Structure formats: C-alpha cells, structure tokens
Structure 1
Amino acid sequence: MKKHYEILIIGGGTAGIMSAAQLLRQKKSKSIAIIEPADTHYYQPAWTLVGAGTYSFDKTAKPMAEMIPKGADWIKDKVTEFEADKNSIKTDNSGDISYDYLVVAPGLAYDFSLVPGLGDAMDKGVVCSNYTNPKHTWDVVKNFKGGVALFTQPATPIKCGGAPQKIMYLAEDYWRKNNIRSKSEILFATAGTVIFGTKVIADTLMKVVERKDINLRFNHKLVKVDGEKQIAWYDLTKDIKAGGCIVMSGENDGKYIDESFQYNYKDVKVTKKDGLYGIHFDMLHTAPPSVAPKFVRESNLVNEAGWLDVDIHSLQHKKYPNIFGIGDVAALPTAKTGAAVRKQVPIITDNIAMLINHKKLGSKSYKGYSSCPLVTDYGKMVLAEFDYEGNFTPDPKLKRMLITDSSKEHWRLWMFKKFMLPYLYWNRMMKGKNV
C-alpha cells in the first residue's frame, strides 16, 4: 500500500529538521515524514573554524537518528522523481509516497564538471576546501611554507558566499603568527566586482584586506584547474580598459593597473593561453561549483537556472500551491545560509498551517534576510546581516552583548560565532524554536 503523509519533507539538513520540529511543536499536522538518506547531520557553519584548526570536526556531527524530531517518521531513502500532478514522489527503495503538502529542502549538490580538473584535484595535496573536507584544509594551512596562496570560488551560487574569504583571513593570521606570512603572497580571485554585496560590510572588509596586504582580483571566473601544474585558469568577465594592465607578471610596476580587475597589485606568475589567464599557486582553497540536486534539476519544478521556482516572499511554489521550497535549493536572490533558513521556516510553517486550517496563505512574508559571520582574525568577527535589497539589517538583540555596530570587527562576535551559535543551532533551531 502506498504511504501517505499530510506533510512530507525532503531533506534532513537544517531546513528540513527545523521545519519538521516547528510544525510538530505547533501541532500543525496529523502526520509528518522526513526523507533523508544520510546517517549523519552536520553543523556546517563551524567548518570554517575546523579548517583553521580552532574547532573540533567531531563536534559538528550528530547521528541523523538523534536529529529527527519525535513524532516525525524518518524515511531513510533517496528521492528520484517528482510527480507533482499526482501529489507524489518516487524513491529508490520505498516506492511512491504521496502527500497533502510537500516541503522541498534537500540542499544543493556539487557539480565538478563545471570546473574541469577541480574534482580530480580537490582535497588532495595543496588543493583544499572547507566545503568538502575542512580537516584537509587545516592540514594544508598549517603545512604551507610560503609562496602564492590563492583563495577563489566558482561563479555558481554557493553555500555562504563569504566562506571562501573567511578561511583566507584566518589563514593569514595563522601564517603571520608562525613566520610564514613574509614569504607569501595572498590572492583572492572572484567573478564578482566587489568584496561583499552590502556596502557597510564591504567597507570594513576592505580595511581588513589593507591590513593583511591581500591582492584582490575581480571579474575572474574560475573555469578549470590544473592540479598537477598548480594553475587555476580564469576567464575575465569584463573588457580591459584601453591601455590597462590586468594580471600579467612583469608587465609593469602596477602603476597602471585597472582597479576593476585588481586591488593591491601583486606581481605573481600568470600565464596567458587560449584567451584564459592562469594563476600559478602553491596552495588553493575554493568552493565547489554548486547546483540543485539532480532529481530537482530534472523536474518541472525549477526555473530556467535550475533552482526550485518559488515565490520569494511566501516560499510557495509558483505552479503547485501545496509545495514549498526552503533553504539552499530555493531560487531566492539572497545568500544560501543557515541564518536564512532560520527566517524562512516560520514563513512556511505558518503558510502550511493556514492552508490546512483555512485554505489560504498566512500573512507572513520573507524579506530575504540572510547573514554571514565573517571571521577576520582568530578572535575577531564582523556579522553581515542583510535583506533582498542588500540593506544592512543588524539584529537588535546584539545590543544585549554590548555590540553597538556589528559591521565592525569585534571579539564578542567571535565568541558569538564559536560558542553561542552552535548552542543555538543544536538546542533551539533544531528543536523548532524561533531564534
């Protein structure tokens, strides 16, 4: 007999667990199930600290069986296909499962084919990523003896867009304290045009960049990686100003650098070939190119970019009113972070409850809130909080911690990141409590 649930949730990550826990606390449903194949649930925001050697990887993991809220069924399986017109999904081993309401929260997937060579090089030798193996990142950071340290990211959406630069700031601090910094050049290459999208945060980070003497390279789209020769190849996404130098070593003294491409020029080895620019590195940290999971991408639930097509305020699917999308998989013009999920969950739980009881949506609206805790040194942090418009939206509760301006570096924000946020995650968010 085909299984049926009033509310079916795909994904046992932050979004799925918090949604189920909140619905159960509010007694909003007769039956809830979570489909999740993994045995372990990870608190991934701490992986930046793991990669910097200041947090235990083991503390970021808990058995999935302990995370599934009491009252929800755990279907340990993979979704293979949607049949939204039939209010049903297909699974690997559990057959078809039907629902009244569906919450799609499987997170995202990594597609290394988008950056040829990166998959073969990842987490081997001097190529690392906090996204995939933060313990290897720490090995690379502590064993680095000098040279060119390249921090970069793909042009796809990624989890926590600030993460690729957070580990850079911590690595620089570590190398400075261990007499490696003077033998090193640190580069940050991004397809973006600014260091951060919210201006007040960008202003602070540019001061950090100045203090740490980091070379920024903008409009650099990572297109392939040669792990053996240690070259990261980039396509420049903007025309060069007439007469301007970009990144070629030895061409000039940096006097005429086009600053839309470079800030704080450093003369490192760059090879030009077939229209691409290859930066030679002695260590590389990057984020994997990211996409929606295959079963989502191949469904009729996605937009042209391949992400779950939901209304950005109600989080309701644009075609199927009994489907909601939340977290990294959703096509929302804001950062993909756990902090965003924290504000999204109360929206969908209210909307589902209103649909169950009153056949209409609730009045709550998601404004695009997300946040990025930007650690800038061991013991310092900036907290970027913003909405769809990129407005800086600091939480008034921070004043209780005697933090009057979270756009500036503060040691109390570091304590908040390292100690308070993990506590709030495990003991409040994952229990369905609003934070």
Structure 2
Amino acid sequence: MESHFEILVIGGGTGGIMTAAKLLQEDKSLKVGIIEPAETHYYQPAWTLVGAGTFDYKKTARPMRSVIPKRATWIQDSATGFKPEANTVMTKSSGDLTYDYLVVAPGLVYDWSLVPGLGDAMDKDVVCSNYTDPEHTWEVLKNFKGGTALFTQPATPIKCGGAPQKIMYLAESYYRKAGVRDKTDVVFATPGTTIFGVPEVKKTLLEIVDRKDINLRFGYKLVKVDGPNRIAWYSFMDHEREYNHKDIRIEKDGDLTGIHFDMMHTAPPSTAPKFIQDSPLANEGKWLNIDKHTMQSPDYPNVFGLGDVAGIPAAKTGAAIRKQVPVIVENIQLLKSRNILGTTTYNGYSSCPIVTDYGKMVLAEFDYDNNFTPDPKLKLMGITDSYREHWRLWMLKKYGLPYLYWNKMLKGQDV
C-alpha cells in the first residue's frame, strides 16, 4: 500500500468525506488517503426522528465504501498517533503514513467513566440515548406508562447541543397521543444557563416549553447514575434555578441531588479520541488545537482540522462542517500553489434543526457571537422567520436534508 499522500485525511465521517470529495472535485489528480476503520457511515441527524418512531434506522446507514470518494484511497485502519514535525501519522496496522497536508476529522468519542453508572445503565431498561441506540429510545417511549420523564445531558461538549431537547419535545407529543401525558412530568435538567443561546430562538422555545408544560432545571450537572434504582444524581453549578416547577421525587446525598425517573434520555459524556488528547496537536482542553477562523493548526501550518474534534467554540454539527470545509479546501489549495492562506474564513456558523413536534421544526442558525444568521436559501421555501415553528422546516429535516447529505454534501458540492 502507498504510504505517502499529498493529502491525508483522518476520519470517514461528514468532515473527512466532504473535505476529500471537494479537494478531488477541484483537482482530480490529487493523491488523497482517508484513514477510517468503520465499515458503515451513518447519517446521525436523523437519529432524533428514529428515536421518535418517524424514521427508519436502516435508512441512516450506508456502506463506508459507497461514500469514500472514487479517487481517494481508503485506509481501513485506525490512526494511533502523530509525528507532525516529520509529517507522519502512525496507524494500528498499516504502519507510518506520511503527508504533505493533513486534515484531522476523527469526530469525538464517548467516555462513560465521566458519569459513573451511566455506561452500565445505557440502552437498557428505561435509560436511552438517540446518540447510541435510537431504536431503544423508541422502545422506551412506546413502553412508558407515566411518571417522571427525565431528559438531561452531561457537562461535556456534545454533538448537536439541541439534540437532548428535540427528543423531549417529540416524546411529550407521543405521550399525548398514547394517553399517558396527564400522569407524566416532563423534566429537562441541564448544566447550562438557558434553553438556547440565540435570543430569537430562546423566545420560541420558552413558548413551546409553556405549551408543553415542561419543567426546566438549569445548573444541574449530571455526576452519576443509579440505573437499578432509577436515580440520576446531580451537583449544582453556580447558576442553579428552575422554570415551571414540578413536584417530582427528589433525594439528597450530601451536596448531591437525585432525581427519580421512570424514563431517562441523555447524551453521552464526550471527549476527543485518546490519540488526539495525547498528541502535540491537542489544546489545553484536550481537543484539537486549531485557529477558529482558518481551521489551521497554530503550530504546524500544513495541518488542518474540523468537525466534532475541533477545539473551537462552535457547535458540533454537520451544518458547521458544511461551512468549515470550503475554508480548509481553499487554504490547502493556496498553500500548495502560492504558499498563502485564503481570504475565506469560518465565522462559527452552525445550524441546529430543533424539532418541536411531529410536523414542526425551528431552525436555529447562528455564529460565534450567537447572532441569528438565517440562510437566504430558506426564502425559496417561503420561510422568512425560521426561528418560529414551521411544517416546511419539518419537511426539510425529514426529507430535504437527508437527500442533500447523501447526494450533494458527501460528493463535495456546496449546498
């Protein structure tokens, strides 16, 4: 197997595939290698809908072979470390690979040790997560007969910060249909300070919380889970407060507060992969150290990174990647041809499609400063106020975005 590549990409997720595809689209002669161990590529944004019983899980999966760009070399292996001063990536079984330019996009990993007890409880009984097994989430929703429905998240960065809310709104609707809503308390316990950071979206979501009679608990840091006794234990951040109180069953253990639940959905505690954390490419927080506008490593000019592994204050979403890829592609092309960086920069844009009901969605689009920045293309759909609920946005989420993902984004086309 070849061991030297002009462009070496780590990761066959959204970021890695899109970058490789776009580079090859613009220069078909490039020698591009993609390091990715997995056999299957998943369209994870649809897992929210799978968990609510309105999307087929099988349709979110495709063979990795089918999404790797035709002219790229797939190295089906795991990266294990870096020697960036020697332009080298070590791998588990393919030896050392060298590169002219490196694109680091391995995504994130789940570290269950950060919330003791959660790993043992996850995807069993009434504890579920759309991040790990959305089909189990749907089983939990269908089997729920009332009580405390707890929706929560860890204090680590997570994929798509809005996802722990989306399934809550859908579950609440499902409980109404199933006739158990009147004997259910829906609780959202989050370490955050607010329901959403963008003012326009926050206003809409609080109206939805009122409509759905949801109890919000801010400043709740999930520290451990007692699966057998169905208790989620929290410590309080310095901004602990409540909105729309519900008289649920609470326990105390020293400084910890335990919420008894009859079902619980959470996002897993997340970190960068260990080979990133232990590398010279990591920042102090143990995420990939890159410039938040150029996506370039400050220490190694021929190294770039994007996606969930990036140590930048942007949301970890596919929409963010969609805007990060063109910046990296332009920078690599100009460094190769003229040894300069491009003028296109990344402003922190992300979008979070927040499903609020079956048939309704809000599209939160924002930048590093939490400015509401709607995509002008939405006007083609007749939507000028995407911070409000729309059925057209639901159609975009369920049908439009999966189509664009498989047929445009992964082919390196701008959408």
State the TM-score bracket (shorter-chain normalisation): over 0.9
Q: Distance in 2 between matches of 1:369 and 1:107?
A: 18
Question: Corresponding residue for 1:169?
Answer: 169
Residue type matched to 1:24 in 2? L
Residue type matched to 1:113 in 2? S
Question: Corresponding residue for 1:321?
Answer: 301
Question: Corresponding residue for 1:101?
Answer: 101
Residue type matched to 2:326 in 1? P
Q: Report how far residue 178 of structure 1 moved.
A: 1.4
Q: Report how far residue 94 of structure 1 moved.
A: 0.3
Q: Which runs of 5+ in 1 are unaligned?
A: 240-259
Q: 2:377 aligns with which of 392, 397, 403?
A: 397
Question: Corresponding residue for 2:223?
Answer: 223
Identity of aligned residues (%): 66
Residue type matched to 1:181 in 2? R
Aligned ranges 1:120-139 → 2 under 5 Å: 120-139=120-139
Distance 1:63 1:211, change over 3 A: same
Q: 1:305 aligns with which of 285, 291, 306?
A: 285
Q: Report how far residue 42 of structure 1 moved.
A: 0.2
Question: Corresponding residue for 2:260?
Answer: 280
Question: Corresponding residue for 2:409?
Answer: 429
Q: 2:357 aligns with which of 354, 357, 377?
A: 377
C-alpha root-mean-square deviation of aligned residues, in Å? 0.9
Q: Distance in 2 between matches of 1:34 and 1:300?
A: 21
CA displacement, residues 209-250 of structure 1 (integer Å, 9 cap, x when unaligned): 0000000000000000000110000000116xxxxxxxxxxx
Residue type matched to 2:88 in 1? S
The total of aligned residue pairs comes to 415
Q: Report how far residue 2 of structure 1 moved.
A: 7.0
Q: Distance in 1 between matches of 2:401 and 2:194?
A: 27
Q: Which runs of 5+ in 2 are unaligned?
A: none
CA displacement, residues 39-61 of structure 1 (integer Å, 9 cap, x when unaligned): 00000000000000000000000
Query: 4+ residue runs of structure 1 moved beyond 6 angstroms?
Result: none
Residue 390 (structure 2) pairs with residue 410 (structure 1): yes
The alignment's TM-score, normalised by the length of structure 2, stands at: 0.99
Q: Distance in 1 between matches of 2:253 and 2:144?
A: 28
CA displacement, residues 77-107 of structure 1 (integer Å, 9 cap, x when unaligned): 0011111111001111100000000000000
Q: Report how far residue 330 of structure 1 moved.
A: 0.5
Q: Distance in 1 between matches of 2:28 and 2:66?
A: 22
Aligned ranges 1:350-361 → 2 under 5 Å: 350-361=330-341
Residue 249 (structure 2) pairs with residue 264 (structure 1): no
Contact 1:308-1:329 within 8 A present in 2 as well: yes
Q: Report how far residue 29 of structure 1 moved.
A: 5.6
Q: Distance in 2 between matches of 1:409 and 1:420?
A: 17
Contact 2:186-2:214 within 8 A present in 1 as well: yes
Which deviates further from its counterpart, 119-128 or 26-35? 26-35
Which deviates further from its counterpart, 230-239 or 400-409? 230-239
Q: Distance in 2 between matches of 1:90 and 1:191?
A: 37
Question: Corresponding residue for 1:14?
Answer: 14
Contact 2:24-2:30 within 8 A present in 1 as well: no
Question: Corresponding residue for 2:148?
Answer: 148
Residue 85 (structure 2) pairs with residue 85 (structure 1): yes
Q: Distance in 1 between matches of 2:161 and 2:76?
A: 30
The alignment's TM-score, normalised by the length of structure 1, stands at: 0.94
Q: Distance in 2 between matches of 1:87 and 1:377?
A: 49
Question: Corresponding residue for 2:186?
Answer: 186
